[in-house]
Amino acid sequence: MTDSASKTTTVPASAAGPLVVARGLKKRFGSREILHGIDFTIPAGRVYGLVGHNGAGKTTTLNAILGLTPCQGSIKVLGVDPFAQRARLMRDVAFISDVASLPRFLVVRDLFRLVAGIHPNFSTARAESLLEGTEVRLGAKIGNLSKGMLAQLHLAVVMAIEAKLLVLDEPTLGLDITFRKRFYRRLIEDYMTPDRTLLITTHQVDEIEFMLTDIMFMRDGSLILDAPMADVGRRYLQLVASPDHFQAARALAPVFEETRFGQTVMVFDGLDREKLEPLGTVSTPTLSDLFVALMQREPTAGVAA
């Protein structure tokens, strides 16, 4: 079992183009349509956040990207149809859909041997080095590890794979704040390179905001926002309106309004900061505030980008 000698990349090189291209992506379970013909493009070297309520279609979208489920419409990942060529694609794509999915009957050492034997781009030495400093021992049975240890182990496995795209679906679900922070810090410090792309979904959106380059919001099977973080910061503004300027602020058509601790907070889309500043305190909304705002906005045609 070689670690470095047999590193292979068999998916056609499409480094110059986007990693993922989806057009009119639809998915139906029985009579219920889960994805309503979504379009998106994910270039290389980005960190994408995919955020949405439970049942919004995030996991179905990820499953379509990973070739885990057939869909209508068109989707190409690294230039190939992921459902038709999942096994081939997985040489260059790594994912964690559930940290509890590691085979529990194995010990850690056997897991590494096994993955090294069936994955040409996996490095046992790197996986072992990634476990240094953690409480996970090579001789430990996976079934006996705590949830935090499982997350660390699973992260070590995917980070030891020379992948172009890493997809993480709620990777820190059920972990405490210490593990979550360590998890994301390790991901950014030890894994991300300019030619790698990371796609991540989580409900703890504030915890990943610092690492994102792009954000996608999903609602009811549709993308309601797909934009670089820099654009989001420029485009959306939050106003804590002064009591005597409520009506003037409302006249500027906020996309969201709520009262927090006695203050009226409004979120505006595409408005000049200069117009808002006389009306109260203006700031950039956090991702979680923006998410709440856009989730409650009346649906409009097309994707905000």
Comparing CB distances to another protein, the nearer of 161 and 282 is 161
SS3 158: helix
Q: How far is the CB of 97 from another protein (least distance, A)?
A: 4
Comparing CB distances to another protein, the nearer of 167 and 227 is 167
Q: Retrieve residue 130's tokens.
A: 């990634």
Comparing CB distances to another protein, the nearer of 92 and 289 is 92
Which helix (H) or strand (E) segment holds residue 240: the answer is strand 236-241
Residues linked to residue 268 through DSSP beta bridges, in sequence order: 237
Sorted by sequence, the CB contacts under 8 Å of residue 251 that are 6+ apart come out as none
Residue 241 · residue 249 · CB < 8 Å: yes
Sorted by sequence, the CB contacts under 8 Å of residue 54 that are 6+ apart come out as none
Comparing CB distances to another protein, the nearer of 21 and 106 is 106
Which helix (H) or strand (E) segment holds residue 257: the answer is strand 256-260
Q: How far is the CB of 4 from another protein (least distance, A)?
A: 17
Comparing CB distances to another protein, the nearer of 117 and 233 is 117
**Dihedral angle of Cα 29, 34, 35, 37, to the nearest 10 degrees:** 70
Q: How far is the CB of 259 from another protein (least distance, A)?
A: 38
Binding site residues, another protein, CB under 8 A = 1, 29, 59-60, 63, 66, 68-70, 86-91, 94-98, 100-106, 110, 113-115, 117-120, 158
Q: How far is the CB of 101 from another protein (least distance, A)?
A: 4
Q: What is the C-alpha separation between 149 and 301, in angstroms, rounded?
A: 44
Q: How far is the CB of 22 from another protein (least distance, A)?
A: 18
Comparing CB distances to another protein, the nearer of 174 and 233 is 174
Comparing CB distances to another protein, the nearer of 63 and 123 is 63
Residue 124 · residue 3 · CB < 8 Å: yes
Residue 282 · residue 238 · CB < 8 Å: yes
Q: How far does Cα 231 stand from its chain's mean position?
A: 18
Give 270's Cβ-side CA count (13 Å radius): 3
Q: How far is the CB of 271 from another protein (least distance, A)?
A: 40
Q: What is the chain's Cα-based Rg?
A: 21
Comparing CB distances to another protein, the nearer of 27 and 227 is 27
